[in-house]
Amino acid sequence: IEMISEKGLVSGISMAIESGNPKIRKLLLDRHESNDTIIDAINNVKRNNIPLRTQSIIGLPVLRPSQVVNPSQSKLSLIDKDGEEYYYDDPIQESLTCLELVCKSGFGKEDYYWNALYSPFPGTPLGDYAVAAGFADDDTDAHAYQFTTDSGLHCFKGITLKRQIAFSQTSNFFSHFKNGKDLMVLFLYGNNSFKLIDFAEFIESRSEFFKHHERPTQFRIIPNIDRKMMFNFFDDVYSDKEEKFKSINIKLVDYYLGLLDGLVLAAKIADKYYKFEEQEKEFTLADLYRVERVHYYDNNYNMSYIPDRFESLLAPLIHDSRVHAVRNG
């Protein structure tokens, strides 16, 4: 890792953790590393100042099966060799284990908590288990290779499914706080609705509880972003006609300040919002998540940019060690 960093051989490293519960990793995913090993690996990458993308799966089939699993269909089980069971009554609790693990590490603003809602892959041990346990239909091809905004398992419904989708759309933000797991619990279990305004109001009302990681980052292209800069930007780009969306952004100010290059992210959000306005489309929490994801991908591949629409506002603020890689778009 040190050699890779010194020679600049990669722009980032991906690390598939999938679950923060070592028993789930072992029994469902045939992964045998301990949580201590994962934390050590994350911190090793961060000591060498390489951007990291962790990967997790939301909504693994961790419920008790709705039918007896035929051993000829699947040899996987959440009952270990000693007869101890590792089922969850609430699958959100399993998803929280990975978030909690990452929050305990040296995760930085430049790092991304990638996740996907689980869909069974045909012919894989876990996919076969999901079908054999009655969690999915035998025709698993429909969603297997799509990053959907819905679960590929029909056992998750109602508020549980809503929470899984909201978890997927907001977990990168929460991963950047020492108490990110606790904040996620407050958000998911304190709401029945998970629209953009609900997330914005949560950020505004709970910002005093955010415990930031103290690790500095050198990967931003606009240094020292503060609240005044954010509010000035909102005043410049949103007119009275956009007062509703502007007010949401004001509530989200601590969201922007908690993430990498929050001012640039706010510009990309505004750019997408105006494009949606032209198409008469609503900008949702799912859209916030998508713009945020691409924003982090841009940085991870040294392709950071500022939208052409706001070049005159942002270009004078750029001060980046990778300035040759910064582009307009």
What is the DSSP code (8-state) at residue 177? B
Q: Rounded distance, CA 181 to CA 102, Å?
A: 9
Calculate mean pLDDT across residues 209-236. 90
Q: Rounded distance, CA 152 to CA 149, Å?
A: 10
Set out the domains of the chain in order of their start, with CATH numbers.
2-158 (3.30.750.200), 227-328 (no CATH)
Q: Rounded distance, CA 191 to CA 199, Å?
A: 9
Number of residues in the chain:
329
Higher local confidence (pLDDT), 179 or 222: 179
User: Average per-residue pLDDT in the chain?
Assistant: 92
Calculate mean pLDDT across residues 244-261. 98
Q: Rounded distance, CA 220 to CA 232, Å?
A: 19
* pTM given for the model: 0.92
Q: What pLDDT is attached to residue 326?
A: 43
Contacts for 136 with CB less than 8 Å, ≥ 6 apart: 61, 120, 127, 130, 152, 153, 154
Q: What pLDDT is attached to residue 143?
A: 53
- pLDDT above 90: percentage of residues in the chain: 79
**DSSP E strand boundaries for the chain:** 13-18, 52-58, 112-117, 305-306, 327-328
Q: What pLDDT is attached to residue 151?
A: 83
Reported as type and span, the H/E element at residue 97 is: helix 91-103
Q: Rounded distance, CA 234 to CA 245, Å?
A: 10
Tell me the pLDDT tens digit for each residue of 280-322: 999 999 999 999 999 999 887 778 889 999 999 999 998 754 4
Q: Rounded distance, CA 31 to CA 322, Å?
A: 37
Q: Rounded distance, CA 230 to CA 255, Å?
A: 11
Structure tokens at 135: 């969690």
Phi, psi of 13 (to 5 degrees): -130, 135
Tell me: pLDDT of 135 over 50.
yes
